[in-house]
Amino acid sequence: MENNEEAKSSIERLPNQVRPKIVSVELNKILSSLRGACPEDAEISFDFDGKLHVHIDMRNLEDLILTESILPKLCLGIFHDIQRGNAPHSSFFHRVSAQVEI
């Protein structure tokens, strides 16, 4: 039993690693700004394929047109290459997508 205690006491703990949360913090800031500018029922998602994209799905075409006009001015102009189309998950939703330059 003493050998077991000696083994436990000789094991050194690794220092706690602090993980940078910069990406999460920035994405949450962008998401918060988008939620404030988009209709309440809009579905907002991001994807990354070497470039960051945002997709905003909404039911009402008028809301899409308004959101599309607001995006270039939001968050100091980080949204560009704005496109509209149908949301892939539902024919009742419209989608506006943009590349996010951060």
Q: Are 47 and 53 in contact (CB under 8 A)?
A: yes
| CA–CA dist 42, 95 (Å, integer) | 10
pTM of the predicted protein model: 0.77
Q: List the pLDDT tens digit at each of the 102 positions of the chain.
A: 555 565 556 677 767 766 668 889 999 999 999 999 999 999 999 999 999 999 999 999 999 999 999 999 999 999 999 999 999 888 889 999 999 997
All domains in the chain, ordered by first residue: 2-100 (3.30.1360)
